[in-house]
Amino acid sequence: MKKETVQIFCKNNNISKSFPIGSSLLDIYKGYDLNLPYLVVNAKVNNVAEGLKYKVYNNKDIEFLDLTSPSAMRTYVRSLCFVLYKAVKDVFPEGRLYVEHPVSKGYFCNIKIGRKLYDDDVAKIKDRMTEIIAQDLPFHRIECKTEEAIEVFKEHGLKDKVKLLKSIGSLYTYYFKLDETVDYYYGCLVPSTSYLKVFDLMPYYEGVLLRIPNRENPEVVEDFIKQEKMFDAFKEHMEWNRIMGVRNVGDFNLSCQKGNATGLINVAEALQEKRIAQIADTIYGRGRNGDRIRLILISGPSSSGKTTFSKRLTIQLMTNGIKPTAISLDNYFVEREETPLDANGEYDYESLYALDLELFNSHIQALLNGEEVEIPRFNFTTGKKEYHGDYFKIEEDTMIILEGIHALNPKLTEHIPDKYKYKIYVSALTTISIDDHSWIPTTDNRLIRRIIRDYNYRGYSAQETISRWKSVRAGEDKWIFPFQENADSMFNSALLFELAVLRMHIEPILMTVPRNSPEYSEAYRLLRFIKLLTPIQDKEIPPTSLLREFLGGSSFSY
């Protein structure tokens, strides 16, 4: 007898119910009457994220996700980008949209219309987006042979999608359709445009800023925070990509398939070394102008490559006749029982106040005054500072390098005059896009780095690293990102070719994540994404490369 129902276990309320075979996730969500606090836009089906139009033909475990979930927010933003693209095409039929990178709590987009983009042009595009959303137009997902999708994109003049699909080499693929507009996204979309009511579009530099819902309260848009230095860092690297002829993954893959991988590696590494040398020269120049730098403060989020950057900067400073010496903030933790607690009552080691600020500042002040101090060693087993006769004194022309997540927080060194400080922010600001409308999140770049490093050198599985990532990100939002614009210099540690190299290392590690674990969803998503890139072996990566901090084989000791 033909099966006519499927059994669905809903993880949101731990209840099983029967539904007609072929029911959509939207039907099932309505059947459970869950009333989650915010808009639900997708769901995990057996720990894989799917859109609400996904139809179920077998028994499944399902967890519905609202906009407070990173997965749901990605679905929302992808869909919003499609509406923006359609609005640009409707208002300016010959216009081109480039969704370039995240900044200022939104996404910077370049819109090329053959002339300067004026404020009233942006207003027209925003008005058209509002109309499209009010029309409640459905998003259609169309699966077909890759050759057919390539022909569709050729007809619509979307060369970036053509190059991407040609370079991937898959037999079948899918694309999305909104009215008569087509586009490609490697994740799911919302069912229809009426889901996308919370957004804003504003002029930003020579383009626009697409503003998205707030992650804690998705019923309002994110607060606007101007990030001029971050924007300039992205802009510099986007220009480098343009010079190298590699704007997106399709460009990159085809270049590698033509045998140009070695050239891309050499140029990207050289550009990064040049930038480190420029920062060292700036520090040296300030000293010659009478502003004697004594303290170099280096901060950045997890897996941004701060340690290797510090070592390479040290070498460049020495070529300028500067004597740098490093002091580890890790030795200045407060006693374990004095560590502040987080919202869950656990020790919050990410907090600034997990550091003994009074002792640290007194030591730095004494060193800058030419005095000798005894540096403690923090015993992470006992949770106490210990003293082993590590006396330290610096010479008049010595610069202290401090590297840590709190280095740019003014409170860390509030008793030290600013004239003695030079502040550097380091992060992996991924500037290569998947295509003109799909960016690569910088957090994905860092998470992949961290999974590889944790697996190879810290004994953590991919599942463990992914499970900790949410709390790591929360700590960054609180203790790092608010102070990034305090930097005197920003250094982009991402390398144009790195995700292609990391693919060879990350794939087998991600495949160890159990299918029945909550972390499988993220592992599956990263696997799907990384497969878009043509893999490159790491044998030609130099031993001084920042990537060696994660892959091994570095000429530096850590």
Under 8 Å CB-to-CB from 226, ≥6 apart: which residues? Answer: 104
Distance between CA atoms of residues 69 and 194, nearest Å: 19
Kindly state whether residue 51 falls inside one of the protein's structural domains: yes
Give the tokens for residue 227: 């990030």
Distance between CA atoms of residues 298 and 7, nearest Å: 54
| Same domain assignment for residues 36 and 81 | no
| Same domain assignment for residues 242 and 213 | no
| Same domain assignment for residues 80 and 222 | yes
Kindly state whether residue 328 falls inside one of the protein's structural domains: no
Kindly state whether residue 513 falls inside one of the protein's structural domains: yes
Kindly state whether residue 405 falls inside one of the protein's structural domains: no
pLDDT of residue 244: 82
The alpha-carbon radius of gyration of the chain (Å, integer) is 25
Distance between CA atoms of residues 32 and 15, nearest Å: 9
Distance between CA atoms of residues 428 and 302, nearest Å: 10
Contact 547, 500 (CB under 8 A): no
Distance between CA atoms of residues 58 and 70, nearest Å: 27
| Same domain assignment for residues 199 and 52 | no
| Beta strand pairing call for 60-66 and 40-45 | antiparallel
| Same domain assignment for residues 163 and 43 | no
Give the tokens for residue 461: 């599985």
Kindly state whether residue 389 falls inside one of the protein's structural domains: no
Closest among 299, 263, 344 to 482, alpha carbons compared: 299
Final residue in a domain of this structure, among 210, 226, 242: 226
What are the DSSP E strand ranges found in 212-316? 295-299
| Same domain assignment for residues 113 and 61 | no
Helix (H) or strand (E) holding 427: strand 421-427
pLDDT of residue 340: 92
* Alpha-carbon dihedral sign for residues 120, 122, 126, 129: positive
CA distances 169 to 102, 174, 184, 257, 533, Å, are 29, 13, 15, 12, 11
Contact 442, 490 (CB under 8 A): no
Strand arrangement, sheet containing 172-178: 139-145, 172-178, 181-183
Kindly state whether residue 334 falls inside one of the protein's structural domains: no
Distance between CA atoms of residues 115 and 92, nearest Å: 11
Residue 90, domain CATH: 3.30.980.10
Kindly state whether residue 249 falls inside one of the protein's structural domains: yes
| Same domain assignment for residues 91 and 220 | yes
Torsion, Cα of 426, 428, 430, 431 (10° steps)? 20
Contact 119, 203 (CB under 8 A): yes
DSSP 61-72: EEEEEETTSHHH
Closest among 283, 372, 363, 370 to 319, alpha carbons compared: 283
From first CA to last CA, the distance across the chain in angstroms is 65
Distance between CA atoms of residues 406 and 480, nearest Å: 7
Helix (H, G, I), strand (E, B) or coil at 509: helix
| Same domain assignment for residues 219 and 94 | yes
Kindly state whether residue 299 falls inside one of the protein's structural domains: no
pLDDT of residue 350: 84
Distance between CA atoms of residues 75 and 69, nearest Å: 10
Give the tokens for residue 33: 């009457």
Q: Per-residue pLDDT for the chain (558 aa), expressed as one digit of tens each?
A: 456 999 999 999 999 999 999 999 999 999 998 989 999 999 999 999 999 999 999 999 999 999 999 999 999 999 999 999 999 999 999 999 999 989 999 999 999 999 999 999 999 999 999 999 999 999 999 999 999 999 999 999 999 999 999 999 899 999 999 999 999 998 999 999 999 999 999 999 999 999 999 999 999 999 999 899 999 999 888 888 888 889 999 999 999 999 999 999 999 999 999 999 999 999 998 866 556 889 999 999 999 999 999 999 999 999 999 989 988 888 899 999 999 988 888 888 889 999 999 999 999 999 988 999 999 999 988 999 999 999 999 888 889 999 988 999 999 998 888 888 999 999 999 889 999 999 999 999 999 999 999 999 989 999 999 999 998 998 899 999 999 999 999 999 999 999 999 999 999 999 999 999 999 999 999 999 999 999 999 998 999 999 999 999 999 887
| Same domain assignment for residues 280 and 138 | no
Q: Which residues pair with 64 in a beta bridge?
A: 43
**Residue 94 lies in domain:** 72-226
| Same domain assignment for residues 244 and 221 | no
| Same domain assignment for residues 264 and 140 | no
Final residue in a domain of this structure, among 208, 226, 244: 226
Distance between CA atoms of residues 424 and 144, nearest Å: 48
What domain count does the chain have? 3
Backbone phi, then psi, for 95, in 5-degree steps? -75, 155
- Give start and end residues of each alpha helix (H) in 42-118: 70-91
Final residue in a domain of this structure, among 189, 211, 226: 226
Closest among 195, 212, 211, 210 to 39, alpha carbons compared: 195
CA distances 96 to 93, 113, 137, 159, Å, are 9, 7, 22, 12
Residue 42, domain CATH: 3.10.20.30
| Same domain assignment for residues 59 and 127 | no
Torsion, Cα of 502, 507, 510, 511 (10° steps)? -170
Q: How many CB atoms lie within 10 A of CB 353?
A: 13
pLDDT of residue 1: 46
pLDDT of residue 288: 63
